[in-house]
Amino acid sequence: MSILAAVSVPHPPLILPQIGKGEEQKIKNTIKAYKKAMKFLAAYKPETVVIISPHSVMYRDYFHVSPHSEATGNMARFNAPDVTLRCDYDKEFVSCLEQICRRFDFPCGTSGEQDASLDHGTFIPLHFFDEAYSKYQVVRIGLSDLSLLHHYELGRLIALTADKLNRRTVIIASGDLSHKLSANGPYGFVKEGPIYDQKITSVLQNADFMTMLNMSPQLCEAASECGHRSFVIMAGALDGKKVKAKLLSYEGPFGVGYGVAQFAVGSEDKTRHFGTQYLAELEKMRQKEDAYVQLARQTVETYVTSKKMPLNISLPTEMLFARAGAFVSIKKRGILRGCIGTINAAQNCLAAEIMQNAVAACSRDPRFEPVRAYELSELVYSVDILMPAEPVSSIAELNAKKYGVIVENGNRRGLLLPDIEGVDTPQQQIVIAKQKAGIAESEDIKLSRFEVVRHKVD
């Protein structure tokens, strides 16, 4: 018996009358849909409910599963201490999931619990489910800072556990949508808020889980979403299955998006192995790398996993004999993760220049912690080869898209590469380059410009 069904639900505390004190009537469609979704799950008479909560114990590189045999919680944090809930944990399911994760060397287990009480991301869904059904046990799982692919894989391992135990299992993916839908809301408004909610509700409506895996990280972050990774774990638990999805409601009157959706699981469907498809897309991207980007990636991957440099790499002649300054930039989910380079050649050849700067970018950029092995599958690289710099007498000779800029005052020197997202004018370039060099805005500077040859995967 595998995963029978799933729902994705929000967890606003004010949905409970004891907390909302009438405000819950503004999301009456959400309440109605919530009850319908829980009746939908109850119809399967599940033995185990796997609930995924963004507010459970969370670690950077590890998924936490709640241990023990039971747990309790209340809404004291939201001024309703008399609203309480108790649940029994499915210890056999948890133990089996741990064993399977160890077999696959997957970072998930019961170590490191800091607070055994039920968080509100767990409490509120179970509060509603208790109204519909009572003969079940719970498996509570938190999120991590690992990649979306890791979250998807965890879902697949949850499904394997249900199969092995022949357990009637359903999934509750707890999570609000954007928290930035309204200027009057507690988190304010950004344009990405409603854009994210429109996209994710379409994904949920159509069980379009590949789109969920590929959604822009910048969009998710800007929208301040809460449930995306919960939904991805749920999607992984439904990997390779036909899914009949239905979006039951969407509301956002308080500036936070609340979506309720249900997913009926059908027979096998070979076209819906989205984790495998995602990996195939990553491999296609790797195949588009030129020698410069490939060298940077292989250097970082080798250094992070072994603290050594890669050996026996076939390189084009120009990288072995040419010398130039070079910058290696690393991004994770579209956000800068490290960038280090040299203005002038410091090594005996360009290949060595790239390798040394790749190691520095992943391990010694003072703005970031060193790259960890679990991040490698998400990283994207670019390599900029610097052309000789030339002095300029006026800002009018600069062009933020075409030229990088170097600012100097005495022995202080700052550099900024050209064509950086969000840096559209030479004035912005100079401000940032001064900041990097520790040069005050009022201090005089010498200006130089340079062009680059940029190597990246489009």
> Could you say which architecture CATH assigns to the domain 288-384?
2-Layer Sandwich (3.30)
Average pLDDT, the chain: 95
Distance separating alpha carbons of residues 322 and 9, to the nearest angstrom: 57
Nearest to 313 by CA among 340, 327, 283, 293: 293
User: Which residues of the chain form CATH 3.40.830.10?
Assistant: 3-279
Render pLDDT for 220-246 as a digit per residue (tens, 0 to 9): 999 999 999 999 999 999 999 999 999
Question: Edge-to-edge, what's the strand order for the sheet holding 241-251?
Answer: 137-141, 48-52, 169-174, 3-9, 258-268, 241-251
Render pLDDT for 169-219 as a digit per residue (tens, 0 to 9): 999 999 999 999 999 999 999 999 999 999 999 999 999 999 999 998 889
Percent of the chain with pLDDT over 90: 90
Per-residue confidence (pLDDT) for residue 430, from 0 to 100: 96
Q: What is the DSSP letter of 377?
A: G
In the block, residue with structure tokens 């989205």: 274
Residues 6+ apart with CB under 8 A from 199: 211, 215, 219
- Between 286 and 301, the more confident residue is 301
User: Which residues of the chain form CATH 3.30.1490.150?
Assistant: 387-458
Structural contact between residues 325 and 343, judged by C-beta atoms closer than 8 angstroms: yes
Render pLDDT for 114-139 as a digit per residue (tens, 0 to 9): 889 999 999 999 999 999 999 999 99
Question: Edge-to-edge, what's the strand order for the sheet holding 326-332?
Answer: 335-341, 326-332, 379-386, 452-456
In the block, residue with structure tokens 């990649």: 147
User: Which residues of the chain form CATH 3.30.700.20?
Assistant: 288-384
Per-residue confidence (pLDDT) for residue 458, from 0 to 100: 79
pLDDT at 1 over 80: no
Render pLDDT for 296-344 as a digit per residue (tens, 0 to 9): 999 999 999 999 999 888 899 999 999 999 999 999 877 899 999 999 9
Beta-carbon count within 10 A of 410 CB: 10
Fold classification of 3-279 is Protocatechuate 4,5-dioxygenase; Chain B (3.40.830)
Nearest to 200 by CA among 214, 186, 185: 214
pLDDT at 20 over 90: yes
Q: Model-level pTM?
A: 0.84
- The hierarchical CATH code for the domain 387-458 is 3.30.1490.150
